[in-house]
Amino acid sequence: MKSKRQLQKESTRQKIIDTAYRIYATEGFSASTARIANEAGVSHGTVFAHFKSLNELLECIIGEFQISLAAEFHDMGESSASVSDFLDAHLKVLIAHEEFYLRLITERSLLPEEVQYVYADNQSTIAHHFNLLLSREIKNGIVKEVPVHMLFNTWLGMIHYYLWNKDFFSPDEPVLARYAGDLKHTFISLITK
Amino acid sequence: MKVCIACGMPMEKKSDFPQGDEQKEYCVYCARPDGTMRSFEEAKAGMTKFIMESQGFDESAAEKIAVSSMKKLPAWKDEFSKE
């Protein structure tokens, strides 16, 4: 059983992660760790007692976001999933994290290089699941014979375009929830035979 | 659940382990045909290829991403402490 001290430590760490996630989502990655500490109600030093560096904090937050994506694909069960199921699962997670994801794609170049690599590496895992499924559907004669990484990049390209231009597509409400159906159906009609 | 010490992949099913051996700390993709773990250079090349194929990235960028990811994995700790 965990000691009271251990539980306290874990709860403080989680509070820092949750606060940092919220602040980065709403204010962007230029928000300072002092601001995060203040908002979480801990001292600035406490942040660095839990995370060795800013990089470690950022990597942890991006990692947590991408773990939620991986968990979604895992629950789906790759062998029986259809392309539509996969796109739904991807959209579901992105919709839940829209503000944070938008920051991630628009401000990526502001992040430390090592943190950007964590993002890119995790995207590869998502792409890999996507590609396995699409390769199977190409073999089954359902999806057109296009290199699978181009299919993944096209799908991301559509999502990112709507996010980048959220102010035009949906200024007053989250953009992905509003256009999820259009995006999915259009992509599926483009790639299927 | 175990996580591969050499590539970070979660190992959940028996088929995720080399030759189905669930005692192993590395996954089926990080094993050579004889079941031993692949070398640093082999792993680096494999992970670079994985990133290039999954997202279509340029080789030099994919290699940087692969190396950065390997730095965080226990199997390659000694390789990076030499630097």
> To the nearest whole angstrom, how far is the Cα of A128 from the nearest Cα of chain B?
5
Nearest CA in chain A to B49: A124
Residue B55 and residue A124: Cβ atoms within 8 Å? Answer: yes
B82 located within any domain? no
The Cα of B21 is separated from the nearest Cα of chain A by a number of Å equal to 22
Contacting residues of B for A147, CB less than 8 Å apart: 56
The pLDDT of residue B28: 93
Q: Is the residue at B58 inside a domain?
A: yes
| CB of A137 closer than 8 Å to CB of A83 | yes
Q: B32 in a domain, yes or no?
A: yes
Average pLDDT over residues B40-65: 95
Tens of pLDDT, residue by residue over A156-182, are 999 999 999 999 999 999 999 999 999
Query: pLDDT for A58-100, tens place per residue?
Result: 999 998 887 777 777 766 665 678 899 999 989 998 999 999 9
Nearest Cα neighbor of A130 from A191, A65, A182, A186 is: A191
| Reported ipTM | 0.85
| Nearest residue of chain B to residue A134 (CA atoms) | B54
B29 and B19, same domain (yes or no): yes
Q: Give the end-to-end CA distance of chain B in Å, rounded to a whole number.
A: 31
In a domain, B79, yes or no: no
Sign of CA dihedral A15, A16, A19, A22: negative
Q: Is residue B46 part of a domain?
A: yes
Q: Cβ separation of A124 and B56 shorter than 8 Å?
A: no
As a whole number of angstroms, the distance between CA B28 and CA B16 comes to 5
Q: How far is B54 from chain A (nearest CA, A)?
A: 5
Which residue numbers of A have CB closer than 8 Å to B's CBs?
A: 70, 114, 117-118, 120-121, 123-125, 127-128, 131, 147, 149-150, 152-153
| B9 & B30 share domain | yes
Do residues B2 and B24 both lie within one domain? yes
> Which residue, A120, A66, A111, A55, is CA-closest to B61?
A120
The shortest CB-CB distance from B54 to any of A114, A117, A124 is to A124
Check pLDDT > 70 for residue A31: yes
On whether both B34 and B57 belong to a single domain, the answer is no
Q: Are residues B8 and B29 in the same domain?
A: yes
The answer to the question of residue B78 being in a domain is no
B48 lies in some domain:
yes
What is the identity of the amino acid at B67?
A: V
Q: Do B24 and B5 sit in the same domain of this protein?
A: yes
Q: Specify whether B34 is located in the same domain as B1.
A: yes
Same domain, B1 and B31: yes
Q: DSSP assignment, residue B76?
A: G
- pLDDT-derived band at A1 (thresholds 50, 70, 90) equals confident
What is the per-residue pLDDT for A75?
67
**B30 and B47 co-located in one domain:** no
For residues B4 and B31, membership in a common domain is answered with yes
Mutation target among B7, B51, B58, B63 for the A interface, most CBs of A within 10 A: B51
Q: Could you give the number of structural domains in chain B?
A: 2
Choose among B10, B53, B69: nearest Cβ to A121: B69
Taking CA A48 as the corner, what is the angle to CA A45 and CA A51, rounded to the nearest 5 degrees?
160
Q: Which residues contact A159 (CB under 8 A, 6 or more apart)?
A: A91, A94, A176, A183
* B42 to chain A, closest Cα gap in Å: 18
Domain that holds residue B66: 39-73
The C-alpha atoms of residue A49 and residue A126 are separated, in whole angstroms, by: 32
- Residue A193, pLDDT score: 93
B13 and B45 co-located in one domain: no
- Asked whether A192 and A142 are in contact (CB, 8 A), the reply is yes
**Going by C-beta distance under 8 Å and a sequence separation of 6 or more, which residues neighbour residue A107?**
A28, A29, A30
Cβ–Cβ below 8 Å for A121 and B53:
no
pLDDT band at B38 (very low <50, low <70, confident <90, very high): very high
Say yes or no: B3 and B33 in one domain: yes
Residue B69 in contact with partner chain A when CB distance is under 8 A: yes
Q: Across chain A, what does the average pLDDT equal?
A: 92
Lowest mean pLDDT among A184-188, B20-24, B70-74, B79-83: B79-83
Q: In order of start, what are the domains of chain A with their CATH numbers?
A: 1-51 (1.10.10.60), 54-191 (1.10.357.10)
Could A117 and B64 be called an inter-chain contact, meaning their C-beta atoms sit closer than 8 Å? yes
Nearest CA in chain A to B53: A149
Residue B53 located in a structural domain:
yes
Percent of chain A exceeding pLDDT 90 equals: 75
